[in-house]
Amino acid sequence: MSVSRSRRGFCRIALATAGTTVFPANLFALEEWPRQVNGISLTDYHVHRDGTTVEKLLEISRQRGVKFGIVEHAGKRENDYPVILTNDEELTRYVAGLEGKPVYKGVQAEYLDWMSCFSKEAVAKLDYVLTDALTIRGKDGRRVKMWSPGFEVGDPERFMDEYVDFHLEVMAAGPIDILANCTWLPKAIEKQYEQLWTAKRFRKIVDAALKYKVALEINSLYLIPRLPLLRIAKEAGVKFSFGSNIRGPQVGQLDYCVAMIRSLGLTRDDCFTPAPAGRKPVEVR
């Protein structure tokens, strides 16, 4: 998904409403890599290559002072992405291509059945697995991308209840580390964010995240979750990861994440770090 002018405008408004400040890119000393806030080493775990070379991404990483976790889509070919890893051989080749680079190696797992494509041994070679709930089950049983043109929400309240339940299903379905794009809403209802994302609904996601030991992503593209919801997660003891999900040369911008770190008073203990060998979700769940 690309960032349009209207999207950027909406993001700036949302950030202002959250009572936070955008931090300039030169806030930190460039010689410090990765840059740190409250003792937290800044890491963008939601970086897509999208045809960009790893060398170019590393250049951007150094310039921004942010360590990158690179993810490739993974799952069945039905998910319909230009590049998607669908078996052990492709996954192993992808991991090998990142070996020796100063990046974390991850995948963005797609839909509920992604694990049926891979062995546990192959997945364990990754540093982490990230997924989201943006591809849902349609009325006919087919997977539906909610950001696609023409997606219909129907009754917003009914949609939200089903959407929350789907978040829970996603976390229960496979051994994941990070739930990305959490609380994202389709364009038709995005202006109703505060009304639709009630504390009760969000707490269901928080409870599931705690149960399955899943970190919630603070996303700097969509500026979500909003601060009141993040406070609920922080008080509950949920771990957080940071992700831009921005494509191209603007990747790695974590201004919103930095603002939330400061607003919530997050420390290293509140943040996700990849599990060591033998303790990864795919090995213990």
Contact 114, 131 (CB under 8 A): yes
pLDDT digits (tens, 9 = 90+) for 176-186: 999 999 999 99
Could you tell me the two tokens for 56? 């170019």
Confidence of residue 31 (pLDDT cuts 50, 70, 90): low
Rounded Cα distance, 78 and 277, in Å: 31
pLDDT digits (tens, 9 = 90+) for 201-246: 999 999 999 999 999 999 999 999 999 999 999 999 999 999 999 8
pLDDT digits (tens, 9 = 90+) for 79-128: 989 999 999 999 999 999 999 999 999 999 999 999 999 999 999 999 99
CA angle 96, 98, 102 (to 5 degrees): 140
In the chain, the amino acid numbered 231 is: R
Could you tell me the two tokens for 221? 């593209």
Whether the full predicted model's pTM is greater than 0.85, yes or no, is: yes
Could you tell me the two tokens for 114? 């992604």
Burial status of residue 199 (CB atoms within 10 A of its CB: 0-12, 13-18, 19 or more): exposed
Burial status of residue 69 (CB atoms within 10 A of its CB: 0-12, 13-18, 19 or more): buried
Diameter of the chain measured on Cα atoms: 54
